[in-house]
């Protein structure tokens, strides 16, 4: 996942369909909805609460959050695919999927997908998600199944090759999160959990990470090991970033001037089969100076700083190209 060099843009069919939906409403009406949604999102309150009280609110929500959610999910799934080259999912269930960003991202990463299901509690979001999916190029998205439902650990567990939950754990009461993670992982071949890249979002992810290890699943990413997370709790947090381009309408909705934005997120991916985990993960922007690169790494041995210089040859060239979030191969020439 590279913040500056990899840009995760919505598929053209989705972008066009979303622009068409947004075009049905006055610009000032959408902007007012986005302002309320933005406040709700920053306060980490449920985005699917009564604030989504009209079709215009739901369209504004899709315009405000769908590009960023797609970028984060796509970045996470692309890394998961890299770490599990033999994984070729045919089925996906996205829980609390809103208007369906995660099924679009998964279909782009894994063309093997044949059936995608979105479970969402807001009926208006389901209706909009269905309309957006109608002209998708990917068969799994175009023929996706949409079900109204709540997160209910007492119900049968979601059964699919790929189960995704994006930006939802924080909407649940803390007492329900462990049961939810257990429920989601019970019949999933691969489970993907994504939360905002904030200290609170990381705390939810690291708690789920520890639980998934206890349940016997293998960590796929971003962690290079399954030991205790070495990041000092309450002092720092593990998060990453995906860059997404803004269309003209997207800039207007967010009152932004830049042609892009960076979506910060924390995540964990777990699988029932052993992955090809990274030797180490770059946790910060590499400090690149003339003839030298400094890398902040998480590895099985813990947190470490690596200095790579020209004398390290291929490792130096790799370090010059490396970005925050990338795997680091642990070149033997670097002490």
pLDDT in tens, 233-283: 888 999 999 988 766 565 566 555 566 788 999 999 999 999 999 999 999
pLDDT of residue 48: 46
pLDDT of residue 103: 98
- Phi, psi at residue 283, to the nearest 5°? -100, -10
Q: What is the pLDDT averaged over residues 52-73?
A: 88
pLDDT of residue 51: 57
What residues contact 113, with CB distance under 8 A and at least 6 apart?
A: 89, 90, 91, 92, 106, 107, 138, 140, 162
Q: What is the pLDDT averaged over residues 213-235?
A: 94
CA dihedral 230, 235, 241, 245 (to 10 degrees): 180
Q: How far is CA 209 from the centre of its chain?
A: 15
Check whether 6 has a pLDDT greater than 70: no
Contact 170, 195 (CB under 8 A): yes
**Rounded mean pLDDT of the chain?**
89
State the residue for tokens 């030991």.
227
pLDDT of residue 302: 92
State how far the Cα of 286 lies from the Cα of 289, in Å rounded to an integer. 9
State the residue for tokens 């290890």.
213
The residue ranking higher by pLDDT, 245 or 62, is 62
pLDDT of residue 327: 94
pLDDT of residue 2: 37
Q: Tell me the whole-structure pTM to 2 decimals.
A: 0.91
Check whether 1 has a pLDDT greater than 50: no
């Amino acid at each position: 996942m590279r913040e500056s060099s990899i840009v995760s843009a919505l598929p053209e069919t989705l972008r066009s369909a979303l622009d068409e939906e947004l075009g049905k409403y006055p610009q000032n009406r959408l902007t007012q909805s986005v302002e309320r949604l933005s406040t709700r999102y920053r306060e980490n309150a449920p985005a699917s609460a009564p604030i989504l009280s009209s079709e215009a609110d739901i369209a504004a929500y899709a315009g405000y959050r769908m590009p960023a959610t797609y970028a984060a999910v796509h970045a996470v799934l692309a890394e998961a695919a890299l770490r599990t080259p033999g994984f070729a999912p045919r089925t996906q269930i996205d829980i609390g999927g809103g208007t369906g960003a995660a099924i679009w991202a998964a279909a782009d990463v894994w063309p093997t997908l044949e059936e995608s299901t979105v479970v969402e509690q807001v009926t208006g979001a389901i209706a909009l998600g269905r309309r957006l999916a109608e002209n998708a190029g990917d068969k799994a998205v175009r023929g996706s199944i949409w079900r109204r439902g709540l997160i209910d650990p007492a119900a049968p567990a979601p059964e699919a090759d790929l189960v995704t939950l994006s930006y939802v754990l924080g909407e649940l009461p803390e007492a329900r999160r462990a049961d939810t993670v257990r429920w989601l992982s019970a019949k999933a071949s691969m489970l993907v959990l994504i939360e905002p890249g904030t200290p609170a979002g990381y705390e939810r992810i690291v708690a789920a990470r520890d639980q998934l290890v206890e349940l016997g699943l293998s960590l796929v990413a971003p962690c290079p090991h399954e030991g205790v997370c070495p990041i000092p709790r309450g002092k720092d947090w593990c998060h990453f970033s995906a860059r997404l381009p803004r269309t003209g309408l997207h800039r207007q909705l967010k009152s932004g001037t830049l042609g892009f934005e960076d979506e910060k997120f924390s995540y964990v991916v777990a699988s029932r089969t052993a992955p090809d985990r990274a030797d180490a993960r770059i946790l910060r922007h590499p400090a690149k100076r003339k003839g030298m690169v400094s890398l902040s790494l998480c590895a099985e041995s813990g947190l470490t700083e690596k200095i790579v210089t020209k004398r390290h040859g291929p490792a130096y060239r790799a370090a010059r190209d490396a970005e925050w979030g990338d795997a680091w191969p642990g070149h033997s020439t670097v002490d």
